[in-house]
């Protein structure tokens, strides 16, 4: 069995907890074990008084290729709906990041696919390398959006641009993400992680109680709606995951061929 304990690196220094995707050979795609590690890291960072801010990062070439498709295929195998949403590490991770009280920053270079993009909707500051490519190919995988992105994306992008991103699932680049407000600033990829760290250090020097209260107030109007939408999406996602379109999409990816949805 391969050792995957290094696929997520967690490092805390000077009040900043940095969570790094470290599975570059698989484009930082995220396994169940990685979701569990990130959910645990967030739970611990919330409790740890020494942590004042969290940073998510990949490397200069890749943020994350989204959910591991081999894991998706396993979950959809047999046609049975996967275990209840609330039990799965991915939903625990999403709940933890959506409700995380302290500031969260992301540094995104290269592809940010699926949850690699939707997790950004729950970050407070997002910095992108000029090579960042965001995509939400849920429909292309026979699935539907998660992380409350079916609600947050139309709010942020406007309906038609959100529909283009979610229905077509084609990548959009850093400048387009800047224009719609998904990212704060676009910089050369070699500067992105350092910029995120510099901003995190600034936040870490501020009074934590005031940061937490300000973030809570900014999100207070929609926290319950986000949680409810995540539950609704989770139920649909689980149902679609067990369907023929998703199985065909996952199998096609693993077999490195185009999916055939003519019967789905
Ligand atoms: N799950 C599992 N493995 C993945 C993966 C994923 N989401 N994304 C990439 N990989 C693997 C590839 O199978 C390949 O493995 P191999 O070397 O054993 O053949 C390796 O990572 C490199 O991927 P490759 O596609 O050759 O890299 P690329 O630079 O040409 O393209 C991406 C990068 C991210 C654009 C492309 O890999 C991609 O589209 N991945 C799937 C994204 C996706 O649909 N995610 C689910 C979102 S819900």
Domain that holds residue 131: 4-188+206-254
CA 151 / ligand 1 centre spacing (Å): 27
Residue pLDDT, tens place only, 57-89: 999 999 999 999 999 999 888 554 556 667 789
> Is the minimum distance from the CB of 66 to ligand 1 under 6 angstroms?
yes
CA 14 / ligand 1 centre spacing (Å): 34
CA 26 / ligand 1 centre spacing (Å): 6
Helix pair 69-76, 223-241: axis angle to 10 deg: 70
Q: Confirm whether 157 is domain-assigned.
A: yes
Q: Are 256 and 262 in contact (CB under 8 A)?
A: no
Q: Confirm whether 239 is domain-assigned.
A: yes
Q: Confirm whether 260 is domain-assigned.
A: no
> Is the minimum distance from the CB of 27 to ligand 1 under 6 angstroms?
yes
**CA gap 43, 97 in Å, rounded:** 9
> Is the minimum distance from the CB of 189 to ligand 1 under 6 angstroms?
no
- Any idea what the CATH number is for the domain that residue 93 is in? 3.90.226.10
Secondary structure of residue 58 in the 3-state scheme: coil
Q: Confirm whether 168 is domain-assigned.
A: yes
Q: Confirm whether 197 is domain-assigned.
A: no
Residue pLDDT, tens place only, 24-68: 999 999 999 999 999 999 999 999 999 999 999 999 999 999 999
Q: Confirm whether 198 is domain-assigned.
A: no
Q: Confirm whether 194 is domain-assigned.
A: no
Give nearest CA residue, ligand 1 atom 8.
65
* Gyration radius of the chain's alpha carbons: 18
Atom of ligand 1 nearest to the CA of 140: 44
CA 16 / ligand 1 centre spacing (Å): 30
Per DSSP, what are the bridge partners of residue 18?
Answer: 11, 55
SS3 track for 74-94: HHHHHHCCCCCHHHCHHHHHH
Is residue 107 within a helix (H) or strand (E), and if so which, with residue range?
strand 104-108
Helix pair 32-47, 89-98: axis angle to 10 deg: 30
What total of structural domains would you count in the chain? Answer: 1
**CA gap 257, 264 in Å, rounded:** 17
Q: Confirm whether 54 is domain-assigned.
A: yes
The tens-digit pLDDT sequence of the chain (264 residues) is: 456 789 999 999 999 999 999 999 999 999 999 999 999 999 999 999 999 999 999 999 999 999 999 999 998 885 545 566 677 899 999 999 999 999 999 999 999 999 999 999 999 999 999 999 999 999 999 999 999 999 999 999 999 999 999 999 999 999 999 999 999 999 999 999 999 999 999 999 999 999 999 999 999 989 999 999 999 999 999 999 999 999 999 999 999 999 999 988
Is residue 134 within a helix (H) or strand (E), and if so which, with residue range?
strand 133-135
Q: Whole-prediction pTM value?
A: 0.97
Print burial letters for 122-133: b (CB count within 10 Å at least 16), e (below 16).
Answer: bbbbbbbbebbb
């Amino acid at each position: 069995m391969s050792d995957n304990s290094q696929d997520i690196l967690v490092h805390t220094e000077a009040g900043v907890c940095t969570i790094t995707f470290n599975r570059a050979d698989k484009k930082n795609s995220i396994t169940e074990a990685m979701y569990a590690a990130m959910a645990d890291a967030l739970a611990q960072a919330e409790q740890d008084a020494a942590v004042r801010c969290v940073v998510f990062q990949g490397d200069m070439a890749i943020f994350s290729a989204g959910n591991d498709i081999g894991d998706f295929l396993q979950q959809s195998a047999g046609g049975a709906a996967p275990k209840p949403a609330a039990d799965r590490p991915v939903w625990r991770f999403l709940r933890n990041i959506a409700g995380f009280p302290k500031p969260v920053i992301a540094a995104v270079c290269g592809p940010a696919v699926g949850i690699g993009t939707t997790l950004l909707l729950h970050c407070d500051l997002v910095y992108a390398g000029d090579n960042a490519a965001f995509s939400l190919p849920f429909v292309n995988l026979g699935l539907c959006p998660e992380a409350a992105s079916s609600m947050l994306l139309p709010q942020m992008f406007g309906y038609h641009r959100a529909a283009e991103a979610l229905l077509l699932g084609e990548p959009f680049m850093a400048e387009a993400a800047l224009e719609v407000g998904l990212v704060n600033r676009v910089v050369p990829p070699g500067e992105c992680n350092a910029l995120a760290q510099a901003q995190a250090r600034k936040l870490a020097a501020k009074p934590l109680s005031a940061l937490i209260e300000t973030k809570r107030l900014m999100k207070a109007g929609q926290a319950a709606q986000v949680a409810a939408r995540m539950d609704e999406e989770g139920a649909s996602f689980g149902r679609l995951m067990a369907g023929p379109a998703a199985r065909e999409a996952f199998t096609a990816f693993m077999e490195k061929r185009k999916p055939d949805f003519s019967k789905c």
